A and B are shown apart, each in its own frame.
Chain A
Amino acid sequence: MRPRRKLLPAYSGRLLFGRAVQSVFLILVLVVINFLLIHLAPGDPAQILAGQSGDEQYLQFIRARFGLDQPLGAQLWIYLSGVLRGDFGYSLGYQQPVLSVIFERVPATLLLVLTAVTLSSAAGVVLGVEAARRENSFLDRAVNTFALVCYSVPSFSVGHLLLIVFALRLGLFPAQNMSSAGQETEGVAHLLDVLEHLTLPVATLTAVYLAQVLRLTRTAMLNVLGENFITTARAKGLEERRVLYGHALRNALLPVVTVVGYDFGMLLSGAVFVETVFAWPGLGRLMIDSLAMRDYPVLMGLFLAVSVGVVVVNFITDLTYSALDPRIGYGRRSG
């Protein structure tokens, strides 16, 4: 048996420590940006920290709570230490702390986004490799055109199209929500119900992500396939499948993982539209609802949570990168 490759080789440890420190710094900067947005916005900061539904008494409470009569530096400290303790404020609209309002919606968005990312990555990588392998063939052109169209059409329009055709006209799938209203189902029945509701939103989001992954994989593969080590691998008499998926893809995946990982914010904004179109009860839907209700604490809390999520995913991307990169590997190559 081959020894397992260590995930983090020792000499890249210092590099990753640097990235971790940088991530913490970026999170602090994001909290400051959030604070500045609240104070630079026209109108009373207390109104924003309270949300539109707060009355005068509540505004007084908020002013005292956030020290709004103190100098800006002191206010920043109060805000910062609150956020670092996990206090994102209180939502009058939902009668709950902002953080629990947000956490309630996380599973729905994760289910949607992770399913779509998994499906689109698998399909996108395979299609991208096959397209690059036969550059300028019919398959390559067809796949390319499909990706270009998916990359250009707004995600909400893809959603509307699927919604009108498969839900409203053909009645194959439910149009809205995550499960059927009024029926308390459990176990397998509930799972199937959610799956049925999940199909159209996931199909929409997958189409959007797929375009991105496919285009990136194809480009990266074309670059790698011209390299000397591919010629060497072929000259060694390796079968083509191993050359493509073993040698070439391993190197081509690096830029793909980086771009997809660094685009986590994009993935989530795609989810906002899909959740809006299909009334999927996730973070995107929450964002739009809190906008409509002028529930600013939830809005700002979400913005902060999403930005911190982006920093964390970027960091995870760096970890993945060093695990994937054959050059940062532990001195041995597979294949």
Chain B
Amino acid sequence: MSEERDDKNAPAGWAALSSFGRNPVTAVGVVVLAVYFLAAVFAGLIAPRDPQKTSRESFRPPSAEHLFGTDDLGRDVFSGVVHGARVSLVMGFAVALLSVLVGVLVGSAAGYAGGLADDLLMRLTEVFIIPPRFFLALVVAALFGSNYVNLAAVLVVTYWPSTARLVRAEVLSLKERGYVEAARALGAGHARLLFHAILPNASPLIVTNFVMMVGMVVLVEAGLSFVGLGDSSHVSWGYMLHNGEHFMRDAWWMMFFPALAISLLVLALNAVGDALNRALDPKTRIAQPGKAT
């Protein structure tokens, strides 16, 4: 590795991120996220028990044997929390990735093309942005069945418009820059201009939007499971909260640990997202997705 950073070829936006890694809060956030990833990948090895397996040892408070206690059916809460990371992370990342992908395509096409295409695409975006996400998800879960595919589909359908708007605004401002003019003067085609000159410079904003969106999706999924509309084929934190609510007076651990798991994950994602945002631009912009839960 050379000591000198090769800034000449790096897009301007990414260069601004050099301060990102030096922030201690970010470092903690990244470590926390890594722990969650490891838990999700190696859940089978880390969890001492099968999270679905019931036993006669119900309502045991946290102890050396049951780190986070047991629930009403004698299931190990710690094992549930570890396995729950899978649902949250897979849903969070899959939904955010797809939404951002669609949003970037629509937003950059609208911003770059301008004119009638821009008008039509933005009208379309307006239609998709209106139905309140959480209520639509409830209705779809009730009418079409609450499985992960349906939930992911509803969330993607309602999350892409915000990214599309953000990216469109960014592309509108970027396409007037000097280096884009220069590339155009050199004879670069539309695809080359968009994918090599404009989008790389919008990518820090897109990544920030993605990171914060993952956190919001994790919250929405947990919320749906909490009101009893999640996919019950896998252990999820939201379901554990749903179940624990009936016993909150006596078995606080049934709700405390899943709630802590959700909160820490989303906190880490938002902290990293905030740090990215700050590193991006001294004139901080508002790339904050609305919180539904």
Binding site for B on A (CB under 8 A): 22, 26, 29-30, 33, 37-38, 40-42, 48, 148-149, 151-157, 160, 163-164, 168, 208, 211-212, 215-216, 219-220, 222-223, 226, 255, 259, 263-266, 268-270, 272-273, 276-277, 287-288, 291-292, 294, 296, 299-300, 302-303, 306-307, 310-311, 314
Contacts and interface: CB of A to CB of B under 8 A. Distances in A.
Query: Do most interface residues of chain B lie in helix, strand or loop, or is the interface mixed?
Result: helix
Contacts of A310: 130-132
A154 B222 contact: yes
Given A148-B274, A223-B283, 20 more contacts: A48-B143, A148-B270, A148-B271, A149-B267, A164-B252, A168-B249, A211-B291, A223-B284, A265-B132, A265-B133, A266-B290, A269-B132, A269-B133, A269-B134, A276-B227, A287-B135, A291-B228, A299-B142, A303-B139, A310-B131
Contacts of A153: 259, 262-263, 266-267
B126 A26 contact: yes
B66 to A, nearest CB: 21
Nearest to A291: B142
Q: Is the contact region of chain A dominated by helix, strand, or loop, or is it mixed?
A: helix
The size bracket of the interface on B is 35 or more
A193 to B, nearest CB: 23
Given A219-B284, A300-B139, A310-B130, A270 B293 contact: yes
A302 B131 CA distance: 12
A180 to B, nearest CB: 19
Contacts of A152: 215, 263, 266-267, 269-270
Given A152-B267, A152-B270, A288-B227, A265 B222 contact: no
6 contacts: A154-B259, A160-B245, A222-B284, A265-B292, A266-B291, A296-B142
A303 B139 CA distance: 8
B136 interface: yes
A41 B144 contact: yes
Nearest to A283: B135
A173 to B, nearest CB: 15
B120 to A, nearest CB: 14
A136 to B, nearest CB: 11
Contacts of B142: 291, 294, 296, 299
B248 interface: yes
B274 to A, nearest CB: 7
Contacts of B255: 157, 160
Interface string B119-157: 000000011001111111011101111000000000000
B134 A265 contact: yes
Interface of B: 126-127, 130-136, 138-140, 142-145, 215, 219, 222-223, 226-229, 241, 245, 248-249, 252, 255, 259, 262-263, 266-267, 269-271, 274, 283-286, 288, 290-293
Q: Which 3 A-B pairs have the closest CB atoms?
A: A265-B132, A269-B134, A41-B143
Contact of A164 (B136, B248, B286): B248
A273 B223 contact: yes
Contact of A154 (B127, B136, B262, B286): B262
Contacts of A303: 131, 135-136, 138-139
B286 A259 contact: yes
Contacts of A302: 135
A306 B135 contact: yes
A296 B143 CA distance: 8
Nearest to A308: B130
Contact of B135 (A265, A273, A292, A296): A265
B126 A291 contact: no
A259 B289 CA distance: 10
A211 B292 CA distance: 13
Q: Of residues B135, B245, B267, B274, which shows the largest number of chain A Cβ atoms within 10 Å of its Cβ?
A: B135
B127 A26 contact: yes
B284 A154 contact: no
A160 B226 CA distance: 12
Contacts of B269: 152
A273 B293 contact: yes
Contact of B293 (A26, A156, A288): A156
A160 B259 contact: yes
Given A148-B270, A156-B241, A307 B259 contact: no
A291 B138 contact: yes
Nearest to B145: A42
Contacts of A40: 144
B288 A269 contact: no
B143 A37 contact: yes
B293 A37 contact: no
B271 A151 contact: no
Nearest to A258: B286
Contacts of B241: 156-157, 160
Given A41-B143, A157-B263, A168-B249, A272 B134 contact: yes
Contacts of B143: 37-38, 41, 48, 296
A266 B289 CA distance: 10
A212 B130 contact: no
A201 to B, nearest CB: 15
A189 to B, nearest CB: 28
A178 B229 CA distance: 25
